[in-house]
Amino acid sequence: MKNNLNNLVTESINENSKNIDRVSTQEMIEIINNEDKKVAFAVEKEKNKIAKAVDSITDALKNGGRLIYMGAGTSGRLGILDASECPPTYGVSNELVQGLIAGGEEAIRNSIENAEDSKEEAIKHLKNIKFSKKDFLVGIAASGTTPYVVGGLEYAKSLGSETAALSCNPDSKIAEVADISIAPVVGPEVVTGSTRMKAGTAQKMVLNMLSTAVMIKLGKVYKNYMVDLQVKNNKLAERAKNMIMEVSEVSYKTAEEYLEKTDYNVKLAIMMLNSGLEKDKARIELEKYEGRLAEAIQNNK
């Protein structure tokens, strides 16, 4: 195992930080910041593969499938974080995008390091959510070698599901298994092997791209507004009213009135205001265009 780890970019020694324990606080922060600057450029090199994954995930979701993230440690937590943000931001069900982590719920807050070594646990977790060939699995592992993730991808492939691997090492084990390999190589970490740093940042950026682009393609965004957000508190209510005011060029009072008319359905309120249709007809037209507000408005002017 030692030799295998030494061959991984994510486990190699960073020459730029080898004296980080003997520099001033200011220098320490500059070293970390300079290393962080490399992350976006590493992600940029993977943009074609990210786009390919987005199209495949979108097709899966349109055909009744789900997007499932699977990882251990930091990687697993990042998947859970991304999944948990989709319902409030885009109004989708909690089941549509899900995150699975080695060690289960306890591992979200506490480190359970040996959990990642079990392929069997991965299969058990996927069976628990009734994973099927319609679903899309993204396996996340900075090293690209995590058995839990490898096992999950192998099981998904055995069912005929499409898969993607997200790693920060080139030619990784999970890349061999998955249909699409996304591998932003960010180089050695400031603290050797601490992949919660640059590798974690890169993974977070990629996951942001995947879920955001998929939701846009599913009609959850109009222009650059999150028109399917769930209005759950006062702050979000004000955001919804401001959104309607800006998009539909109406007063605060009118925005508030239409929000109440639609039971705080921002997209429906905007559709009514911009098409002149009554609520039931506006809803039918939105459904006709699968929630794509721009198309629905364009064809009802």
Q: Which residues are catalytic?
A: 85, 116
What is the phi-psi region of residue 226: left when phi exceeds 0, alpha when psi lies from -120 to 50, beta otherwise?
beta
Give buried/exposed letters for 89-126 (b at 16+ CB in 10 A, else e).
Answer: bbbbeeebbbbbbbbeeebeeeeeeebbebbebbbebb
Which of 56, 49, 67, 51 has its CA nearest to residue 175?
49
The CA distance from 172 to 187, in Å, is: 14
Measured distance between the N- and C-terminal CA atoms of the chain, rounded to whole angstroms: 65
Write the CA distances from 117 to 10, 54, 127, 147, 151, integer angstroms: 18, 29, 18, 5, 10
The CA distance from 5 to 10, in Å, is: 8
Residue 70's DSSP bridge partners are 100, 139
Tokens of 17: 């930080």
The CA distance from 259 to 203, in Å, is: 37
Contacts of 184 (CB under 8 A, 6+ apart): 39, 42, 43, 45, 46, 168, 202, 205, 206
Contacts of 200 (CB under 8 A, 6+ apart): 74, 75, 78, 142
The CA distance from 159 to 141, in Å, is: 21
Please, are residues 141 and 72 in contact by the beta-carbon 8 Å criterion? yes
